[in-house]
Chains A and B, each alone.
Chain A
Amino acid sequence: MPATWLLTGQRFSQPVSVLIAVVPIITFAIFIVKFINDFSVLDEVKQRVQLEAVVIGFALTAMLLMLLFLLGLCDISNPDLFGYGQLAGYCWGFYFIGWLISKKKYGV
């Protein structure tokens, strides 16, 4: 979020802009490593919930990308609603949908 605000609202030279763009990716990579490490210490029911959440999230994201690609071929696109940034948000949204479905399924 701060990186988005900085990159859209401020004017920086390109090297500084690239640096601002890369920093969140590094922190996100650290988050992913931590997420995977935490996953290994969960009990097997919670592991299953997380696994299904990721599977559902991935499947829905792939479906959305496929739909957008096909609509793009028909010259239908809306970058304001379906830009790269928004797609990252949808991806997280789909993961949480999957997480809720899986939690409900196993009653955890």
Chain B
Amino acid sequence: MKNTIKVERAKKNWTQADLATHIGISRQGLNSIETGKFIPSTVLALRMAKVFNTTVEVLFQLDDLEE
């Protein structure tokens, strides 16, 4: 699973801690999601998309192997 969280964060000029606070998880947890180690739940993905004013499909994409 690929994601564009880092790009979206950069657009808003947010640190990982800022985003983590907005979506209600720990900074380490967000780092784990951003680096692709942890796949978030649908609720968390939707919450993340909402704070970035975008869609889940923009934030998360399947890898070639997963398609």
Contact = CB atoms under 8 A, between A and B. Distances in A.
Question: A and B, one complex?
Answer: yes
Q: Place the interface of chain B in its size category.
A: 10 to 19
A25 B47 CA distance: 41
Given A44-B41, A44-B44, A108 B32 contact: yes
Q: Place the interface of chain A in its size category.
A: under 10
A43 interface: yes
8 contacts: A44-B41, A45-B28, A45-B32, A45-B33, A106-B37, A106-B38, A107-B35, A108-B32
B26 to A, nearest CB: 5
A45 B33 CA distance: 8
Contacts of A107: 28, 31-32, 35, 37
